[in-house]
Amino acid sequence: QVQLVESGGGSVQAGDSLRLSCAASGWTLSDYALGWFRQYPGKEREFVAALSWSGSNTDYVYSAKGRFAISRDNTKNTMYLQIHSLKPEDTATYYCAARRALLRSSTFQRSNDYHYWGQGTQVTVSS
């Protein structure tokens, strides 16, 4: 069974750092383009970061640039979202996502572009 299992969320103070993890089971994550999204209560899921299949290209929402970093470790079949200098407005449920891509360099920003999703992990940042 294809699964993405997230971990690493929690309650932190503003200014702290967190690393969210997303482990794939039943398939090989290295063959996929990856993404992270977040969702605020009552809002639609929004794009945060993307990583191409090749690992050579990344893309970030403007508010995440400089503080967020998406990466993958193919030896662990796991993707990550490192978040520094957390702010209260980063409080949300974070989701990892994956999809096949024809081009190794492509990144994807729309949630509808992704085929596989994690269950979500809550990040709460207090001031």
3 state SS for the chain: CCEEEEECCEEEECCCCEEEEEEEECCCHHHCEEEEEEECCCCCCEEEEEECCCCCCEEECHHHCCCEEEEEECCCCEEEEEECCCCHHHCEEEEEEEECCCCCCCCCCCHHHCCEECCCEEEEEEC
- Of all residues in the chain, what percent carry a pLDDT higher than 90? 87
pLDDT digits (tens, 9 = 90+) for 51-95: 999 999 999 999 888 999 999 999 999 999 999 999 999 999 999
Evaluate whether 123 touches 90 at the Cβ level (below 8 Å). yes
pLDDT digits (tens, 9 = 90+) for 93-111: 999 999 999 899 999 999 9
pLDDT digits (tens, 9 = 90+) for 9-51: 999 999 999 999 999 988 888 889 999 999 999 999 999 999 9
